[in-house]
Structures are given as structure tokens and as C-alpha cells.
Amino acid sequence: MTKHEIVRFGDPEAKTVLLQMVDDHDMGYLEQEAELIREATGKDFLLVAVKVNNWNNDLSPWPAPAVFGKEDFGGRAAETLAFLLSEVLPDLRESLPEGNKEIYIGGYSLSALFALWASCQTDAFAGVAAASPSIWFPGFTDFLRANPPRCKAVYLSLGDKEEKTRNPVMARVGTAIREAEDILKEAGIDCVLEWNPGNHFKDAGKRTAKGFEWVLGR
């Protein structure tokens, strides 16, 4: 698999790791995100951001047609997760003290959907911070019902204007995230759904920080 750029923020010796898949846009707010989490929780942590090479391909759990623009979803999330499990997580556990780490995975938009999907595949993550996830993704809530996350806590959020889009596929996001909240609670997972003001493109860093803050407090 193509090598991914990895950047780190926070305490390199912290026992708590926050793992987030990002793109160029996300890289611009990570430092602020880390500071917001630190201020809100007062906890030591290491935020590890892994930059994807192709957002639509690397983070989508299975192939799907484009819903905006012309780029389809390539469905290569399994390759991305394999990279995390075989290279990123072992390296983290070796480099951080005492070897027994709590690793939380989170993200924004399709990265948040990937975090949710990844938590259904492995018990490597203690919790999920899914801020404005692309949970409208075709077939995802059915998948979630059949394969609930293997972690103790899941944070969900959405902007209160996101379901008002004219795109018929993406407009399902509100229904889908409410359904996901029900699925997770029925599975006995500690879960919350928080509504933020604005559309999908507002305050991505702040929303992601709020997600990590919540799971760190569980």
C-alpha cells in the first residue's frame, strides 16, 4: 500500500492516542483541534493524523457511485485499515510507554464514516468520535445493524442544516444518523448524538474536537 504521511500533535509519551484520517484541508486545523481537546479535557494525549492519498477511495467501505462531482467511491477502506493495524498501531504501541494504550479513532465526514466502519471490524479502538459522518453512504446503516462496533463508546454529531441539502442521497443523512443512534444504543454501546448549528462545512475542527472530548470522558 502507498505510504501515508503521518503527523503528530500533543504529548509523545501520553498513554492515550487519538487517531484520525485526514486530507490536505484537515491538516490546516489539526493544531487548533488538539488545543481545543486539551483545554476541554485537561488530559495528556497524542493526536496522530494519517493523511490519505485519495479521500473517496481510501475511506469508503465498498464501491458506490458518485453523489457529488464525478468521482465514484472506490471502496478501499479495508486496505487503509490493514495499513493502520499492521504498521501504524504497532509502531504506536512500541514507541509509547508501557505498551498498553487506549486508542480512539475519529474524524470528520467520510473520515468519520471510516472510523465507524473500522470499529466494526476490530476491537483495537476504545471509542469512536464520528463528527458529521457521511452516514448517508449507501447501505451503511444496514451494515451497522448487522455489524455493531466493537468498542465501548461512540460519539455522533451532525449539523442541523445538513439534511436540508438538495442532493437526494445526502439528504438522507439525518434519518440515517438517527437510525444509527438507535442501532448503537440497542447494541448496548454508550452513544450520544449531538446536533451542531450549520451545514456540513462549518467548524469541522471544533466538531471533531467535541467528539474526541466526549469519548475521552467515558
Question: At residue 2, does pLDDT exceed 60?
Answer: no
Q: What is the CA radius of gyration of the chain?
A: 16
pLDDT of residue 1 exceeding 70, the answer is no
Q: Is the model more confident about 24 or about 95?
A: 24
| Predicted local distance difference test score (pLDDT) of residue 97 | 59
H helices of 45-161, in order, are: 55-58, 77-83, 89-95, 110-121, 140-146
Q: What is the Cα 7 distance to its own chain's centre? A: 16
pLDDT band for position 67 (cuts 50, 70, 90): confident
Residue 104 pLDDT more than 60?
yes
Domains and CATH numbers, the chain: 6-216 (3.40.50.1820)
% pLDDT > 90, the chain: 76
Mean pLDDT for all residues in the chain: 92
**Angle subtended at Cα 68 by Cα 147 and Cα 200, rounded to the nearest 5 degrees:** 70
Cross-strand partners of 189? none
Burial class (CB in 10 A: 0-12, 13-18, 19+), 108: buried
AA identity, residue 159: G
What is the pLDDT at residue 174? 94
Q: Tell me if 20 sits within 8 A of 48, measured CB to CB.
A: yes
Asked if 107 contacts 114 with a C-beta cutoff of 8 angstroms, the reply is yes
Of the given ranges (33-37, 62-66, 90-94, 144-148), which has the lowest mean pLDDT? 90-94
Q: If pLDDT is split at 50, 70 and 90, which confidence band does 217 have?
A: very high
106 by Cβ neighbours in 10 Å (0-12 / 13-18 / 19+) ranks as buried
Phi, psi of 144, deg, nearest 5: -65, -40
pLDDT tens-digit map of 119-172: 999 999 999 999 999 999 999 999 999 999 999 999 999 999 989 888 888 889
pLDDT-derived band at 13 (thresholds 50, 70, 90) equals confident
In this predicted model, which residue has the larger pLDDT, 104 or 165? 104
pLDDT number for residue 41: 95
